[in-house]
Amino acid sequence: MEASPLPSPATEDSITIRAMKDIAFGSTAGICSKVFEHPFDLTKVRLQAQVLDATARFSGPLDCLAQTWRKEGVRGLYRGLPAPIVGAMAENATLFWTYTEIQNTLRWSLGTPDLSLRQLACAGAGAGAVTSFVLTPIELVKCKMQVQMLIAPTSSAPLPGPLAVLAGVVRDTGLRGLWLGHTGTLLRETGGGAAWFAAKEGVAGVLLRRRGLAPTARGELRAWESAAAGACAGVAYNVALFPADTVKSAMQTEAELRGPRAGGGRATFAGTARDMWRKGGLRGLYAGCGITVARAVPSSALIFIIYDGLSKRFS
């Protein structure tokens, strides 16, 4: 039977409504997951940032969490949260919206209503690449705020907030400086987006087939199935290109932790990666990976429970 091509995008209203739903559902899912996972993300960034230090401040993730709690309390565990909240809204809204639109473009160009897992992975990679441009400035501010207490832990002066950090970056390095570490974000989000969506779609398809349903019947997913598929997606995303994230975090916190470079040179992705490899080897490039994967399981499961649930409820 001949596959029917994607309907022509005739009604702007339907396109707009679909985009608004993706943005709203993605933003909601992102906010909820970020509040849950932020202390673990803070731990990851602090572990990544110390790889190039002469002496490590923390012996591991549990030590980092314990020291942060002891010295900074609950407020310390959630230091820098406003930036990732905005980032989670922007990231997930852009990610889900772009993923849907790339899928629709592929269906229209290929003349088929169904896409293979490889094609869905390509859509995820494209969505991740687009999202990286939105995410890099937000992650830059977040990372800088997450290492503030490592610079002057006993200072009584108030620490700069996200807007002050943002203004400082623009003042010192111009608008271009907001995309410091973008190569790492681009690599992570492109490869991670492909792995994230492919793992979710693949596991969801297996679970649907177990119930005798077509793997494309995404609206029939039960909450636990969305959670299981999302959990697998979280692991796939973080394992795929974690070293790129480590290098990115080191670049974005270098000025705070190690001061300006000699001669005023600008950090590069390749140069930072080379330095980190020499200093810590493969273990250094995967600093913080364990706790990141551990928090990604419930966090990613939560994202897809919320996104799939809202999509099903308001379809």
Domain spanning 13-149+159-313 has what CATH number? Answer: 1.50.40.10
* DSSP one-letter string for 174-222: TGGGGGTTHHHHHHHHHHHHHHHHHHHHHHHHHHHHHTT--TT-GGG--
Read off the pLDDT band of 7 (50, 70, 90): very low
Tell me, what's the pLDDT at 262?
61
Tell me, what's the pLDDT at 2?
39
pLDDT tens track for 60-108:
888 988 888 888 888 888 877 777 788 788 889 999 999 999 999 999 9
Q: What is the pTM for the complete model shown?
A: 0.81
Average pLDDT over residues 267-293: 89
Average pLDDT over residues 9-25: 75
Read off the pLDDT band of 257 (50, 70, 90): confident
Tell me, what's the pLDDT at 137?
92
> For the chain, how long is the longest CA-to-CA vector?
73
For every residue of 250-281, which 3-state class applies, written as one string? HHHHHHHHHCCCHHHCCCCHHHHHHHHHHHHH
Tell me, what's the pLDDT at 144?
87
For residue 156, pLDDT beyond 80: no
* C-alpha to C-alpha distance for 133 and 135, rounded to whole angstroms: 6
Tell me, what's the pLDDT at 12?
52
Burial class (CB in 10 A: 0-12, 13-18, 19+), 16: exposed
Tell me, what's the pLDDT at 6?
45
pLDDT tens track for 114-150:
899 999 999 999 999 999 999 999 889 888 887 876 7
What is the distance of C-alpha 44 from the center of its chain? 13
Tell me, what's the pLDDT at 4?
41
**Other CB atoms within 10 Å distance of the CB of residue 222:** 13
